[in-house]
Structure 1
Amino acid sequence: MIDKVAWIELSDGRVLSTRSKGKDTYYLPGGKREPGESDVDTLVREISEELSVQIDPKTAAHLGTFEAQAHGQPPGVLIRMTCYTAQYSGTLTPANEIAELIWLSAADTTQIAPVDHLVFAHLHAAGLLHP
């Protein structure tokens, strides 16, 4: 099981996604926790490293936890993605392994990882993500 924490940032009915250098699939921003980190600690660190902005930990709110086959992994390797919304300060800028930032709608599911499909469906059903 791959354990990941992800940030859900919505704007105008679209969700922020990222593409790593050398990849052709978009992923919700975030990453794996380091030993001893809480979900929010992981969120703050990963988003700062990947997107050059600062998450306000006091505003972090659990959106949901989703499990699916891990993209690019052998069958049976699952990912558990714990998703949070949170306010941020700074200017969204790709950093480190991130090559691109993009705002995606529910119609863009051909470009995302399997676990992200579940998150997109959840956001769409809640009326937060445009078709």
Structure 2
Amino acid sequence: MRTRPDLNTPAARPDAEAPAQVIRVAAVVMARPDGRVLTVRKAGTGMFLFPGGKHHAGEQPVDTAVRETAEETGLRIRPDELVHLGAWDTPAANEPGSALHAEVYGLWRPIARHEVPEPTDEIVQLHWMDSADPQAPAGYAVAPLLLPVLAAVAATPLF
């Protein structure tokens, strides 16, 4: 007996697009005492996002968060300093047509005076964004991941 194909699957609809590629990343939310959060803009892109990035093979998300934060900002943080805030699925910021799955961590300690984030080779701009009113500098946008994450942590005391 043959069954009818499920008409809700992309393969059954001739006009359907293929499922989006899912990019898996880890990101870190870090804030100053004034509530501003650190965001970065990668070279050749127009959106500000949290420090973070793609996993290496076999790498745990928390280790990705630590490595990417160091690579993008020069800040050395430890895995035990991070609090797992949750996982979010949003459109990818800089890869049109792709979806993003982000494991997000919070660094809920003040950045020490000697810890000065600096843009690295892949990062062209850092911006301390108001977590209560996330706005990118003129001419740029806020990555889709930032808004739901900042809304979720809005009621959380940062320190």
- Length-normalised TM-score, structure 1: 0.84
Gaps in structure 1 of 5+ consecutive residues: none
Partner of 2:35: 13
Partner of 1:122: 152
Q: Note the C-alpha offset of 1:24.
A: 2.1
When the two chains are superposed, the root-mean-square deviation of aligned CA atoms in Å is 2.1
Which of 25, 44, 69 aligns to 1:22? It is: 44
Cα 1:51/1:58, change in 2 over 3 Å: same
Q: Note the C-alpha offset of 1:94.
A: 0.7
1:33 and 1:39 in contact (8 A); partners too: yes
Q: Is 1:101 the counterpart of 2:126 in the alignment? A: yes
Q: Which amino acid aligns with 1:113?
A: A
Which of 58, 65, 71 aligns to 1:49? It is: 71
Identity of aligned residues (%): 34
Q: Tell me, in whole angstroms, the C-alpha distance in 2 between the residues paired with 1:27 and 1:10.
A: 13
Deviation string, structure 1 residues 36-94 (Cα, Å, up to 9, x no partner): 1111211121111111111122212101211112224444x310111112357732111
1:22-101 superposed matches below 5 A:
22-75=44-97, 77-86=98-107, 90-101=115-126
Q: Which amino acid aligns with 1:4?
A: V
Q: Tell me, in whole angstroms, the C-alpha distance in 2 between the residues paired with 1:21 and 1:38.
A: 26
Cα 1:66/1:93, change in 2 over 3 Å: same
1:31 and 1:46 in contact (8 A); partners too: yes
Aligned length, in residue pairs:
127
1:64 and 1:83 in contact (8 A); partners too: yes
Q: Tell me, in whole angstroms, the C-alpha distance in 2 between the residues paired with 1:72 and 1:93.
A: 21
Partner of 1:4: 25
2:47 and 2:93 in contact (8 A); partners too: no
User: What SS class does the counterpart of residue 87 from structure 2 fall into?
Assistant: strand
Q: Tell me, in whole angstroms, the C-alpha distance in 2 between the residues paired with 1:74 and 1:25.
A: 12
User: What SS class does the counterpart of residue 121 from structure 1 fall into?
Assistant: helix
